[in-house]
């Protein structure tokens, strides 16, 4: 099951990475000025960074909550 989870996570990260690269190339090849393209790339990078930080923070919080729940259940079982 762990390998399926890892494979799914790898696929998701590859999709996100490909999307970011594709968007960057599209911006670079767009028919507009270089300054405007650079501003858009920076803006896009900041947006992706903020969203990814939020996603990883939420994921980390979920793992922490899960670990605390499991830890609480194992402590309960040890009392028996």
Domain span at residue 34 reads 2-79
Tell me if the pTM is above 0.75: no
Q: Quick one: pLDDT at residue 28?
A: 77
Between the two ends of the chain, the Cα-to-Cα distance in Å is 30
Q: Quick one: pLDDT at residue 1?
A: 47
Q: Quick one: pLDDT at residue 27?
A: 74
Q: How many domains does the chain have?
A: 1
Rounded Cα gap, residues 23 and 5, in angstroms: 27
Q: Quick one: pLDDT at residue 47?
A: 92
Q: How long is the chain?
A: 80
pLDDT tens per residue across span 34-78 = 788 788 889 988 998 999 899 988 988 888 888 888 877 666 555
**Cα distances (angstroms) measured from residue 62 to each of 30, 55, 78:** 40, 11, 24
**DSSP state at residue 30:** S
Q: Quick one: pLDDT at residue 3?
A: 61
Which whole number is the average pLDDT over 10-20?
A: 88
């Amino acid at each position: 099951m762990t390998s399926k989870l890892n494979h799914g996570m790898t696929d998701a990260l590859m999709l996100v990475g490909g999307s970011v690269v594709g968007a960057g190339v599209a911006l670079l090849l767009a028919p507009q000025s270089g300054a405007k393209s650079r501003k858009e790339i920076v803006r896009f990078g900041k947006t992706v960074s903020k969203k990814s930080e939020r996603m990883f923070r939420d994921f980390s919080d979920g793992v922490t909550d899960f670990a605390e729940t499991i830890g609480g259940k194992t402590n309960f079982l040890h009392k028996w």
